[in-house]
Amino acid sequence: MIAGILLAGGRGERVNSKVPKQFMKLGDKYLFEYPLESFRMSNIFEHIVLVVPKDWIDFVKVRTPSDIHVIVGGDTRSESVRNALDFLEKFKPDFVVIHDASRPFLKLSLLRRIVKSVLEKGAVTAALSCADTMVEFENFVYVDRERYVRIQTPQAFRFDIIKKAHEKRKNWRDDTQPVVECGFSVEFVKGDPFCFKVTYEEDIELARVIAYRWHMIFEEDASLSKNLLQR
């Protein structure tokens, strides 16, 4: 059984808006509803957990289908993940896919690539190569961009691996970090530029442009990637 965790428990401080970015309107939907729809449309998950800040629970519950488990997040991303893992324990999932709700444009092809890979490898993340010249800016050192990848979400793990990795209760940047610290290897799966993280104010503008055409982009991708994961 595969479970999905959608993280919307942050405050979105870098966007500088009154409401957390995941609850901003993008076209006709709230930002968090985009990846939630991708999760639901994929038919991959037996359980979907949506993690939100305590004071947004009511707002989210009235807008969310009743089969989605809406739970309260923690002070950090890692805590929010742990809350979701603890919640899921009773359902005994075999695998879990974790995704930032602040990455609204999640194609089914990417989800399918991630799931296909985790079934075999046990720990995977979406990642993109670096196209721009990379410089360590303090000393203007030009680094070899071929040696770096940019890690995105979704990330997916065998449930026992991610539970064990989170035992230390530290605060990590993402969920591959504790898994690697625990000695497991993490497989890279080709990410997607559409799956960027809305982080700063200007990202909202870009997201609004994509939102306008998202329905078509999503549908076309879904039909092209139909055969990627035969279930």
Site residues (CB under 6 A) for ligand CTP?
Answer: 7-14, 20, 22, 51, 73-77, 80, 100-102, 197, 199
For residues 177 and 199, which CB has a smaller minimum distance to ligand CTP in the complex?
A: 199
Least distance between ligand CTP and beta carbon 100 (Å):
4
Least distance between ligand CTP and beta carbon 14 (Å):
3
Least distance between ligand CTP and beta carbon 51 (Å):
5
For residues 33 and 100, which CB has a smaller minimum distance to ligand CTP in the complex?
A: 100
Closest residue to bound ligand CTP by CB: 10
Amino acid code (one letter) for 62: V
Integer Cα distance of 94 and 2 in angstroms = 6
For residues 199 and 225, which CB has a smaller minimum distance to ligand CTP in the complex?
A: 199
For residues 32 and 184, which CB has a smaller minimum distance to ligand CTP in the complex?
A: 32
For residues 102 and 155, which CB has a smaller minimum distance to ligand CTP in the complex?
A: 102
Q: What is the DSSP secondary-structure string of 60-84?
A: HHTTS-TTEEEEE--SSHHHHHHHH
Query: Buried b / exposed e across 185-203, counting CB within 10 Å, b at 16+?
Result: ebbbbebbebbbebeeeeb
Amino acid code (one letter) for 114: I
Q: Which residues, 6+ apart, have CB-to-CB distance to 133 below 8 Å?
A: 142, 145
Least distance between ligand CTP and beta carbon 9 (Å):
3
For residues 16 and 43, which CB has a smaller minimum distance to ligand CTP in the complex?
A: 16
Token pair listed for 212:
């306008």
Least distance between ligand CTP and beta carbon 59 (Å):
14
Least distance between ligand CTP and beta carbon 13 (Å):
3
**Residue 17 CB coordination number (10 Å):** 13
DSSP state of 231: -
Query: 53 near 72, Cβ under 8 Å?
Result: yes
Token pair listed for 188:
């890279």
Dmax (CA) for the chain in angstroms is 53
